[in-house]
């Protein structure tokens, strides 16, 4: 199906062309022909990011009489940000329509300015319910002659408690108008609205009702309640290119987590209703420009985020309402891209995951918070790739002799080691004290610092490929040394300078005992349980504090090649290494 077949006038097709839209999305394909040809009420259910704005925007623009300056259409949308987005998007769609005026009205900006714009003649008004009601009351806008009313993100407007406002506003509109309702989900409240204010609406559904976007992978991580923040940092560190929205339940938590992240050197920002409009705009702009990699937000504030390439949505806490989860995860996986929605949960919240799975009709994957060692490795590869991909700055040329003098006598291999140590030592020092954050229901006693007694246990061993092992030879070595059967040792993963393997927990005492003071060719071979936190801590702690949460930045200065990591972080780091 092409845009040409939908019945749109040439001026709109030209705009489509300029926008670079190649084919209509499913909701557009289904909605546009109906809305163009019928004067009827209409309900469309489609997830976020499916192109709903154009689905109602194009037909609306085509139906407006630009000869008349009367307000003919009202679009209600839950937040100021969305209002602006819809208005901006519609400006682009209508760039070739002469005499069409689209005006956005919303709270937090001068009401008299908005009234002036309306007065000049606005055929289409895009409004938040609160401001709309206000302006009706003050007779600054006249919607008594509209032909079309669009309720965009209806579920969210109702979530935000706009039911009464919407009812009020609609009571000022003519009976004969058409009402078009767009929603990502169809909770009871939305069907109530549809029944109450609409007459035999034509209904279309894109994808399964209430289904989350299928390009989103849903993951959960079980941690202790006090480890949420540490887990969040690990998830960020394990995904160096992350560009994410982190959802918290309250404004207070949102502010607190954002502040902590910034303190720890992440490119983070906060978005919530206690900030001034100006502060919110600044945060959104920085996020759009990717100066902020982790935007910590409340559900209400985040409703306005329309950024297409968010890689991860992190649920720092699960929302109270399951419906809200759909909105959160819909922030990623937009415009055909894939995304990950991560949930940090405590054991007691696990049943909520089951409920969400039922509602979104998609399974969650249970994942482990990466261990410190894994993060170090990921960061190293990331750094190596960054170095490889970096375009050489020609200005360096002039300084090469001087640099050459300083580095005289250091060969390539040593140089590489040194360069990488700069990053690695910092991560390693930070993370080798770090405990395992995973809270595993099947294994008991873990939190008391005991060695796991059932299930399978993963170990870290300080030999790897550099020592001439691959997974098979390491497995042979372990089997011979431990005098175990081949199948008793599994998931052997060799890395360059270290490796992992698993055994059943019943062998753990044997493994740990065997590798106590164990030497190969004069070198200590050390094995630690990689998912038993307390044990590693006990060993390393030596009177030191285990509270690594206060250890300053753990962030990867190299992430995304951003130059704007804090100076503070930099100089701290220097201090640490010289």
Could you give the CA distance from residue 145 to residue 483 in angstroms, rounded to a whole number? 87
Where does this chain touch Mg ion (CB under 5 A) — which range of 46-54, 288-296, 354-362, 511-519? 46-54
To the nearest whole angstrom, how small is the minimum distance from the Cβ of residue 11 to ligand ADP?
A: 17
With contacts defined by CB under 6 A, name the span among 46-54, 108-116, 143-151, 344-352 that binds ligand ADP: 46-54
The residue behind tokens 């982190």 is: 246
Decide if residue 372 touches ligand ADP (CB under 6 A).
no
Per partner kind, with CB cut-offs from 5 to 8 A, the member of ligand ADP, Mg ion, none near residue 25 is ligand ADP
Q: Which does 51 bind (CB under 5 to 8 A by kind): Mg ion, ligand ADP, none?
A: ligand ADP
Rule CB under 5 A: say whether 382 interacts with Mg ion: no
Nearer of residues 222 and 305 to Mg ion, judged by Cβ: 305
The stretch near ligand ADP (CB under 6 A) out of 49-57, 391-399, 404-412, 536-544 is: 49-57
Interactions with ligand ADP, residue window 5-34 (CB under 6 A)? 21, 24-25, 28
SS3 state at 84: helix
Distance CA(223)–CA(172), nearest Å, equals 52
Q: What is the DSSP string of 153-168?
A: THHHHHHTT-HHHHHH
Q: Looking at residue 311, what DSSP letter applies?
A: -
Angle at 538 between CA 537 and CA 541, to 5 degrees: 70
User: Under the criterion CB under 6 A, does residue 51 sit at the interface with ligand ADP?
Assistant: yes
Select from Mg ion, ligand ADP, none the partner in contact with residue 229, using the beta carbon and a kind-dependent cut-off of 5 to 8 Å: none
CA 566/CA 234 separation, integer angstroms: 19
Task: Give the count of residues interacting with ligand ADP (CB under 6 A).
Answer: 15
Residue 8 neighbours by CB distance under 10 Å: 23
Nearest to 504 by CA among 442, 438, 435: 442
Helix 111-119 with 129-137: angle, nearest 10 deg: 70
Per residue, the 3-state secondary structure of 187-255, as one string, reads CHHHHHHHHHHCCCCEEEECCCCCCCCCCEEEEEEEECHHHHHHHHHHHHHCCCCCCEEEECCCHHHHH
Please give the Cα distance from 60 to 35 (Å, whole number).
8
Which range binds ligand ADP by CB under 6 A, 48-56, 143-151, 230-238, 376-384?
Answer: 48-56
Residue number with CB closer to ligand ADP (21 or 424): 21
Q: Which is nearer to ligand ADP, 56 or 247 (CB)?
A: 56
Listed residue (296, 312, 271, 319) closest to 79, CA to CA: 271
The structure tokens listed for 238 are 């394990």
Q: Which does 79 bind (CB under 5 to 8 A by kind): Mg ion, ligand ADP, none?
A: none
Please report where in the chains the tokens 């969210």 appear, as a residue: 156
Q: Which is nearer to ligand ADP, 50 or 554 (CB)?
A: 50
Dist CA 56 CA 51 (whole Å) = 9
Q: Would you say 83 or 344 has its CB closer to Mg ion?
A: 83
| Cβ partners under 8 Å of residue 350, min gap 6 | 222, 441
Q: Is 573 in the site for Mg ion (CB under 5 A)?
A: no
Give the count of residues interacting with Mg ion (CB under 5 A). 1
Partner touching 1 among ligand ADP, Mg ion, none, CB below 5 to 8 Å by kind: none
The nearer residue to Mg ion, 52 or 458, going by C-beta atoms, is: 52
Q: How many helices (H) and strands (E) does the chain have?
A: 22, 20
Residue 52 in the binding site for ligand ADP (CB under 6 A): yes
Selected from 6, 31, 41, 49, the binder of ligand ADP by CB under 6 A is 49
Per CB under 6 A, does 53 bind ligand ADP?
Answer: yes
If one asks whether residue 327 binds Mg ion (CB under 5 A), the answer comes out as: no
C-alpha–C-alpha distance, residues 366 and 361, integer Å: 16
- Choices 51-59, 255-263, 266-274, 450-458 (CB under 6 A): range interacting with ligand ADP: 51-59
Instruction: Provide, rounded to whole angstroms, the least separation between the CB of residue 51 and Mg ion.
Output: 8
Contact of 204 with 43, CB cutoff 8 Å: yes
Q: Does 48 bind ligand ADP (CB under 6 A)?
A: yes
- The number of beta carbons lying within 10 Å of the beta carbon of residue 429 is 14
306 binds ligand ADP per the rule CB under 6 A: yes
CB 52 within 8 A of CB 276: no
The distance of closest approach from Cβ of residue 305 to Mg ion in the complex, given in angstroms and rounded to an integer, is 11
| List 6, 50, 51, 52, residue binding Mg ion (CB under 5 A) | 52
State the residues that interact with ligand ADP by CB under 6 A. 21, 24-25, 28, 46, 48-54, 306, 308, 335
Binding site for Mg ion (CB under 5 A): 52
């Amino acid at each position: 199906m092409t845009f040409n077949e939908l019945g749109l006038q040439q001026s709109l097709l030209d705009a489509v062309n300029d926008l670079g839209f190649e084919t209509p999305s499913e909701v557009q394909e289904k909605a546009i022909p109906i809305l163009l040809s019928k004067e009827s009420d209409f309900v469309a259910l489609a997830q976020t990011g499916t192109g709903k704005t154009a689905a109602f925007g194009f037909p609306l623009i085509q139906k407006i009489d630009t000869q008349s300056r009367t307000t003919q259409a009202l679009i209600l949308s839950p937040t100021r940000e969305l209002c602006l987005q819809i208005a901006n998007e519609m400006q682009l769609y209508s760039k070739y329509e002469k005499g069409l005026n689209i005006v956005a009205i919303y709270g937090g900006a001068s009401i008299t300015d908005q009234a002036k714009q309306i007065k000049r003649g606005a055929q289409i008004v895009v409004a938040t319910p609160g401001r709309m009601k206000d302006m009706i009351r003050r007779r600054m806008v006249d919607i008594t002659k509209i032909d079309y009313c669009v309720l965009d993100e209806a579920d969210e407007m109702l979530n935000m408690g706009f039911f009464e406002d919407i009812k009020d506003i609609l009571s000022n509109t003519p009976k004969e108008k058409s009402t078009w309702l767009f929603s990502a989900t169809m909770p009871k409240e939305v069907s109530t609205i549809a029944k109450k204010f609409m007459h035999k609406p034509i209904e279309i559904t894109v994808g399964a009702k209430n289904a989350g976007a299928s390009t989103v992978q849903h993951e959960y991580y079980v941690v202790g309640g006090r480890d949420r923040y540490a887990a969040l940092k690990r998830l960020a560190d394990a995904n160096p290119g992350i560009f994410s929205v982190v959802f918290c339940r309250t404004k207070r938590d949102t502010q607190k987590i954002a502040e902590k992240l910034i303190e720890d050197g992440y490119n983070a920002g906060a978005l919530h209703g206690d900030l001034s409009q100006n502060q919110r705009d600044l945060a959104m702009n920085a996020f759009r420009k990717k100066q902020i990699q982790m935007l910590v937000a409340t559900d209400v504030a985040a409703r306005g985020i329309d950024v297409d390439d968010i890689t991860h949505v992190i649920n720092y806490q699960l929302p109270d309402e399951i419906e809200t989860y759909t909105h959160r995860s819909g922030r990623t996986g937009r415009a055909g891209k894939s995304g990950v929605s991560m949930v940090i949960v405590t054991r007691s919240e696990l049943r909520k995951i089951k409920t969400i799975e039922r509602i979104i009709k998609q399974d969650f994957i249970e994942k482990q918070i990466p261990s410190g060692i894994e993060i170090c490795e990921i960061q190293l590869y990331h750094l190596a790739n960054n170095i490889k991909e970096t375009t050489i700055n020609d200005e360096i040329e002039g300084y090469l002799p001087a640099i050459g003098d300083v580095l005289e006598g250091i060969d390539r291999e040593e140089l590489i080691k040194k360069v990488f140590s700069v990053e690695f030592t910092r991560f390693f020092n930070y993370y080798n004290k770090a405990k395992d954050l995973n809270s595993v229901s099947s294994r008991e006693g873990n939190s008391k610092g005991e060695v796991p007694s059932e299930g399978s246990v993963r170990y870290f061993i300080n030999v790897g490929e550099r020592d001439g092992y691959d997974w098979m030879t390491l497995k042979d070595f372990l089997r011979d040394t431990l005098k175990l059967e081949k199948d008793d040792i599994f998931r052997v993963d060799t890395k360059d300078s270290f490796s992992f393997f698993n055994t059943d927990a019943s062998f753990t005492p044997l493994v740990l005992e065997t590798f106590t003071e164990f030497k190969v060719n004069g070198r200590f071979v050390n094995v630690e349980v990689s998912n038993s936190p307390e044990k590693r801590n006990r060993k390393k702690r030596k009177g030191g504090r285990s509270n690594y949460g206060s250890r300053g930045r753990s962030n990867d200065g190299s992430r995304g090649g951003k130059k704007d990591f804090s100076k503070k972080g930099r100089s701290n780091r220097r201090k640490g290494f010289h």
